Structure 1
Amino acid sequence: MLRPATEEDAESIRRWRNHPKVRGASFTTHEIGVDEHRAWWDAISADLTRRVLIYERAGVPAGVVIFVGLDAEVTEWNKYLDVEGLGEDRSAAWVELEYEAIDYAFDVLGVRTLGAATLASNTPVLRLHQQVGFTEVRRYLREVDGEPREVVWNELTPAEVRRVKGM
């Protein structure tokens, strides 16, 4: 289940984001401090073109989904899980979160095209994107920790979701 994030979720989001596995797959890999996170939270909470949602698994907060650019032709999204809290259940949660977030984007938010930037080295996420119907649009280099890293940009439309689901 996805629900809007609240002030009470802010510290959990920071803790999840600071897990070494999450940082290692991110474009900014440093540990996020309280003040930096507070500034981000205040800005994103006030921005009507962004949404932060909490993913709950069996009624327990277990991850976050962030949509950016809700007023744009292509809305970018990213997500991460409570790696420590989910433990071995993480793989199933990734798949569930992917499908729930896609449905939410198109059915609730009315997104026209969903875009995702993923490090090329993050092959499990790229495979999952491909499985649900995302199309690779381009690859490019982006600096991460002072080093150029290859990024894959994927996009998904409601028509592709229907095709994959056989509708």
Structure 2
Amino acid sequence: MLRQVRDDDLPAMLRWRNHPRVRKASFTTHEISEEEHARWWAGVRADPSRLVLIYEHGGTACGVVTFSGLDPERPVASWGFYLDLAGLERRGEMITAWFGIERTAIRHAFDVLELTTLRGEVLAGNQAVRLLHDRFGFKETGGYRRVVDGTTVDVVTVELTRPPTWRRV
């Protein structure tokens, strides 16, 4: 399930985002301060083209889904996610949560946001997420190089188009 972010979610979101493995798989890898996180959240709240939601797995908040590039005139947007790796590993729920967040985000994009195309970017070396996206039908559409912490890395772009036979679930 995806739900709106509440103010009391912000400390957990920051903790999850600052997990070393989440940082390593992100385009921003430094440890984010509370002040930087607060500025980011204020920017998201003020920007109608961005949406951040909490993912709940088994009734427990354990992930963040972001949508960007939202425009009522254009049914295409980008997305990303991260999970509470420490908590999910402790509960033995990592794999089911990975599949759950992907499935839930796609449904939200196509059913609630009424998008026809969902795009994303993933570090080329993040094979686990690339395989996950592939399993859900995302196609790798290209790539580019960008600098992350002073190192040039390869980025893969992915895209999922809503099938014509898509039915709201």
TM-score by length of 1: 0.93
- Counterparts of 1:93-132 in structure 2 under 5 Å? 93-132=97-136
Deviations 1:23-80 (CA, angstroms, capped at 9, x unpaired) = 0100010000011000000110121111111011111100000000111553111100
Q: Partner amino acid for 1:95?
A: F
Deviations 1:86-133 (CA, angstroms, capped at 9, x unpaired) = 113111100111000000011001122111100010001000111111
Q: Secondary structure at the match of 2:132?
A: helix
Superposition RMSD in Å: 1.5
Which of the two has greater helix per residue? 1
Counterpart for residue 84 of structure 2: 82
Structure 2 unmatched runs, 5+: none
Distance of 1:160 and 1:10 partners within structure 2: 37
- Cα 1:161/1:104, change in 2 over 3 Å: farther
Tell me which stretches of 4 or more aligned residues in structure 1 moved more than 6 Å: none
Count of residue pairs brought into register by the alignment: 163
C-alpha contact 1:133 1:161 (8 A) present in aligned 2: no
Moved more, 153-162 or 81-90: 153-162
Structure 1 unmatched runs, 5+: none
Query: How far 1:160 moved relative to its partner?
Result: 7.7
- Percent same amino acid among aligned pairs? 48
Counterpart for residue 5 of structure 2: 5
C-alpha contact 1:73 1:112 (8 A) present in aligned 2: yes
Counterpart for residue 21 of structure 1: 21
TM-score by length of 2: 0.92
Q: Partner amino acid for 2:50?
A: R
Distance of 1:55 and 1:145 partners within structure 2: 28
